[in-house]
Structure 1
Amino acid sequence: MKKVYLLISLVTLFLIGCKDEVSDKKDLHMLSRVDVFPIVEGTKMEEFLIVDEKELSSIREVFEQVQWTPNVEAEMERMEDFQLTLFYTYN
């Protein structure tokens, strides 16, 4: 009987320990890296990374000022200059 309780306890601990919860909300304070891909017609430029804390804090400040409207597609007069990939670090 003790073996059954031990087995149930181990399976329960395994299932609880493997639960991976990541918030859907992106906290700007958790921004840890930005990959930048320059987009210039006719030339191929290499991507670069932003990992410096001073530059990341500047990016955070800009994103905090943006008024986000969900489910709205922006109309642009020209193509974008850069494509960014934001990386967040969660504990």
Structure 2
Amino acid sequence: MKKIINLTILLMLLAGCDGHGNSQLERIEVQKVSEEGNYEETIMITDMERIDLIKETFIEVNWEPNTKAEMARKEDLLAALFYSFDKNMPERLYEYRIWFNSNETATIISNNEKEGYGKLDKENAEKLKENLLN
């Protein structure tokens, strides 16, 4: 019985360390890319309701970890998500390069190796775009 309890605790700890685990998304910085390829001013998102909507949308991304992707054009948005894992540790930053495609889906490339290259369907791409830019 003791071995089962120890194994259960170990599995819970390992599951907590996966992805963004026991983290809190604190804020999001978004930079829109102009048609010339320059980054425009940074938009800071700190409203927790809006952050939760964006976080829920990112859960819907179909990730392909360890995939190296190249895009023909510069991204439409650069989003930096700031997570805190522990109040005594600095925030961890994950960057997402986001393309909104002509078929109204989205392509996302993450600097988090557990995520990598991802796609978002039409409905969720629209939600993401709306919440990042409004």
| TM-score range relative to shorter protein | 0.5 to 0.7
Aligned in 2, Cα 1:28/1:34: closer, same or farther, shift over 3 Å?
farther
**Alignment partner, residue 33 of structure 1:** 27
> Given the two structures, how large is their TM-score scaled by the length of structure 1?
0.61
With a CA cutoff of 8 Å and minimum separation of 6, indicate the structure with the bigger relative contact order.
Answer: 1
Note closer, same or farther for the CA distance 1:24–1:70 as it changes in structure 2 (3 Å cut): same
* Mapping 1:4-19, distance limit 5 Å: none
Q: Tell me if 1:70 matches 2:70.
A: no
What SS does the aligned partner of 1:46 have? strand
For 1:56 and 1:83, the matched residues in 2 are separated by: 16
Q: After superposing the two structures, state which structure 1 stretch, 60-69 or 77-86, moved more.
A: 77-86
Computed over aligned residues only, the root mean square deviation of the Cα atoms, in angstroms, reads 2.4
Task: Identify the residue that residue 100 of structure 2 maps to in structure 1.
Answer: none
Shift of 1:56: 0.5
Contact 1:31 1:56 (8 Å CA) reproduced? yes
SS in 2 for 1:88: strand
Change (3 A) 1:53 1:84: same
Q: Normalising to structure 2: TM-score of the pair?
A: 0.44
Amino acid at match of 2:34: V
Distance 1:87 1:79, change over 3 A: same
| Ranges in structure 1 where 5+ consecutive residues have no aligned partner | 1-22
Identity of aligned residues (%): 35
What's the secondary structure of 1:68's corresponding residue?
strand
Task: Report what 2:50 is aligned to.
Answer: 55
Q: How many residues align?
A: 69
Q: Which has the higher strand share?
A: 2
Q: The residue matched to 1:35 in structure 2 has which SS?
A: strand
